[in-house]
C-alpha cells in the first residue's frame, strides 16, 4: 500500500516529536502540539512510524484513564535494556488529600501499563508486566519502580484495543430511556481478571442505594475544605491555561473560554457560597440521577499489586463498554481514604466489597459523545535512563 505524501509527512512529524524524550516539563515542544491540548490522541496512531516499539506503545499508554487527569507516569527507557520500560510514579503528580495512600494513583498507573500492553500486542509484541520489582512502597509510593514492562516478539492482538482512541470517562447525564441490558453487564464481567472482582447492577433499588451513597460522599468531599481545594487547585481555566498545563480538571471550549475571559469562572468562584460552586452542585445531582447502572471492582486484599491490577481491570471495562456503545464514569468519592470520608468509605466497602477492598465504582449507561481530555505529549513523560 502506498501512503499519500501528506500522510507520510504527518506520521514522520508526529514520530519526530515523540522521538526526543525531554528531561522534564515538555515546554520545549512545538507549538503545533501545545496549541491543541488533545493532540496526543492523534499522535498515538501516528507514532506507528516510530522505530522503537516502546515509544509506539507509550504514545497510547499516556491516553489511559487516571485520577483527576494527573498523568502520574514517568516512563524510563534504560539504555542497557532496549526491550524494557521502567514505569515510575511522578511523585509530584499525586493527590495527597483525597488519595492519601496513593491507591487511586496506582490504579491509574495500572491502566497505563495495560494500555501499553494492548498497544504493544497490536504491533506483535508480548509484554511481561512485573509489578513493584523492588518491593511495594508503604504507606505511600516512593521513587521505586511501579512496574517493569518488558517487550518480546509475539504478542496476541486484543480486540479491545480497537476502542482505545474512542475511550472516554463520560461525565454527563445518561439516557434514562435506554436501560443497560443484562447481557452488557455479563460481557463486561468477562473483562476483569477474576470473576469475583466484578460487580454490576441495573436493579433500580440497588442503583438508587449506590447513587445515594455517591451523592453523600460527593457532598462530603465538596464541603471538606482541603479536599475541595485539591480539586480547585487542579482546575485549568480557559484554553490558554489548559494548553500550558494539559492535565488536571480542564475547563475550556466554546462558551467556557469566554466566561473565563470575562472573569466569571475563577478559582475564587469555585469556593463554597460562590456562584461557580453552586453551578457545580446544580450540575452534579441531576447527572448522578441520570444513571441507569453501576459497576464496581474489588480485590481480596489491598496490596499495591492489587491496585495496579485494578487499573488493568478498569481500563478493560472502559474499553469494553466503549465497544458496546456504553459510557462509563468513575465516581470515587466514597472510596477515598481521608478521615472525613470514613463513614461513606465503610458503607461502600460493606455494600460492594464482598469482604475485600472496593477499588473502583462507576456509572454506566448510554451517554453523549464527548471530546477527549487533554494530555501531555508522550515525549514529556519519557526519560532516558
Ligand X SMILES: Cc1cc2nc3c(=O)[nH]c(=O)nc-3n(C[C@H](O)[C@H](O)[C@H](O)COP(=O)(O)O)c2cc1C
Which residues of the shown chain bind ligand X in the complex (CB under 6 A)? 65-69, 104, 107-108, 111, 168-169, 171, 314, 329-333, 373
Our CA angle for 277, 281, 287, nearest 5°, is 145
Please say which residue, 7 or 283, places its beta carbon nearer to ligand X: 283
Please say which residue, 49 or 147, places its beta carbon nearer to ligand X: 147
Distance CA 197, CA 189 (A): 8
Number of H helices, E strands in the chain: 13, 11
Grid cell, residue 310, equals 485494578
Query: Shortest distance, CB of residue 359 to ligand X, whole angstroms?
Result: 8
Query: Shortest distance, CB of residue 44 to ligand X, whole angstroms?
Result: 12
Q: Would you put residue 218 in left (φ > 0), alpha (ψ -120 to 50) or beta?
A: alpha
Residue 76 CB partners (closer than 8 Å, separation 6+): 85, 86, 87, 88, 382, 383, 384, 385
Please say which residue, 83 or 337, places its beta carbon nearer to ligand X: 337
Please say which residue, 11 or 115, places its beta carbon nearer to ligand X: 115
Query: Shortest distance, CB of residue 81 to ligand X, whole angstroms?
Result: 28
Please say which residue, 292 or 367, places its beta carbon nearer to ligand X: 367
Q: Using DSSP, state whether 289 is helix, strand or coil.
A: helix
Query: Shortest distance, CB of residue 155 to ligand X, whole angstroms?
Result: 24
Q: How many CB atoms lie within 10 A of CB 342?
A: 12
Please say which residue, 169 or 245, places its beta carbon nearer to ligand X: 169
Grid cell, residue 165, equals 482512541
Query: Shortest distance, CB of residue 68 to ligand X, whole angstroms?
Result: 6
Please say which residue, 49 or 61, places its beta carbon nearer to ligand X: 61
Q: How many CB atoms lie within 10 A of CB 167?
A: 22
Query: Shortest distance, CB of residue 25 to ligand X, whole angstroms?
Result: 20
Query: Shortest distance, CB of residue 158 to ligand X, whole angstroms?
Result: 19
What is each CA distance from 100 to 96, 184, 263, in whole angstroms? 5, 34, 33
Residues 328, 329, 335, 341: what is their CA dihedral angle, to the nearest 10 degrees?
-150
Closest listed residue to residue 363, CA positions, set 325, 312, 327: 327
Please say which residue, 11 or 33, places its beta carbon nearer to ligand X: 33
The alpha-helical segments, DSSP class H, found in 165-203 are 182-189
Query: Shortest distance, CB of residue 57 to ligand X, whole angstroms?
Result: 17
Our CA angle for 297, 334, 65, nearest 5°, is 55
Query: Shortest distance, CB of residue 63 to ligand X, whole angstroms?
Result: 6
Q: How many CB atoms lie within 10 A of CB 166?
A: 12
Closest listed residue to residue 169, CA positions, set 376, 372, 384, 375: 372
Please say which residue, 211 or 329, places its beta carbon nearer to ligand X: 329
Amino acid at each position: 500500500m502506498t501512503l499519500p505524501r501528506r500522510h507520510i509527512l504527518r506520521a514522520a512529524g508526529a514520530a519526530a516529536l515523540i522521538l526526543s524524550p525531554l528531561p522534564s516539563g515538555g515546554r520545549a515542544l512545538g507549538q503545533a502540539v501545545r496549541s491543541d491540548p488533545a493532540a496526543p490522541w492523534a499522535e498515538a496512531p501516528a507514532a506507528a512510524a516510530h522505530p522503537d516499539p516502546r515509544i509506539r506503545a507509550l504514545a497510547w499508554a499516556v491516553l489511559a484513564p487516571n485520577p483527576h487527569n494527573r498523568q502520574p507516569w514517568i516512563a524510563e527507557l534504560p539504555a542497557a535494556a532496549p526491550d524494557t520500560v521502567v514505569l515510575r510514579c511522578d511523585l509530584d503528580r499525586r493527590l495527597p488529600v483525597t488519595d492519601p495512600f496513593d491507591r487511586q494513583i496506582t490504579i491509574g498507573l495500572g491502566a497505563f501499563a495495560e494500555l501499553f500492553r494492548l498497544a504493544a500486542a497490536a504491533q506483535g509484541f508480548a509484554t511481561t508486566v512485573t509489578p513493584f520489582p523492588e518491593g511495594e512502597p508503604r504507606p505511600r509510593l516512593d521513587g521505586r519502580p511501579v512496574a517493569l514492562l518488558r517487550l518480546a516478539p509475539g504478542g496476541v492482538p486484543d480486540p479491545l484495543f480497537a476502542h482505545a482512541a474512542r475511550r472516554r470517562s463520560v461525565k454527563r447525564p445518561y439516557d434514562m430511556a435506554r436501560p443497560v441490558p443484562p447481557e452488557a453487564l455479563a460481557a463486561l464481567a468477562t473483562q476483569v481478571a477474576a470473576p469475583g472482582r466484578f460487580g454490576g447492577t441495573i436493579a433500580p433499588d440497588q442503583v438508587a442505594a449506590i447513587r445515594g451513597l455517591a451523592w453523600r460522599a460527593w457532598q462530603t468531599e465538596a464541603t471538606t475544605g482541603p479536599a475541595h481545594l485539591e480539586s480547585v487547585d487542579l482546575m485549568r481555566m480557559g484554553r490558554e491555561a489548559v494548553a500550558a498545563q494539559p492535565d488536571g480538571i480542564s475547563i475550556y471550549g466554546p462558551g467556557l473560554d469566554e466566561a473565563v475571559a470575562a472573569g466569571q469562572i475563577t478559582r475564587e468562584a469555585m469556593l463554597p457560597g460562590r456562584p461557580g460552586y453552586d453551578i457545580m452542585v446544580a450540575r452534579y445531582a441531576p447527572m448522578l440521577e441520570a444513571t441507569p447502572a453501576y459497576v464496581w471492582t474489588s480485590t481480596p486484599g489491598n496490596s499495591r499489586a492489587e491496585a495496579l491490577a485494578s487499573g488493568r481491570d478498569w481500563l478493560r471495562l472502559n474499553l469494553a463498554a466503549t465497544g458496546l456503545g456504553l459510557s462509563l464514569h468513575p465516581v470515587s468519592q466514597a472510596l477515598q481514604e481521608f478521615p472525613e470520608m470514613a463513614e461513606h468509605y465503610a458503607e461502600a466497602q460493606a455494600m460492594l466489597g464482598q469482604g475485600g477492598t472496593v477499588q473502583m465504582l462507576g456509572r454506566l449507561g448510554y451517554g453523549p459523545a464527548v471530546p477527549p481530555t487533554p494530555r501531555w505529549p508522550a515525549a514529556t513523560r519519557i526519560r532516558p535512563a
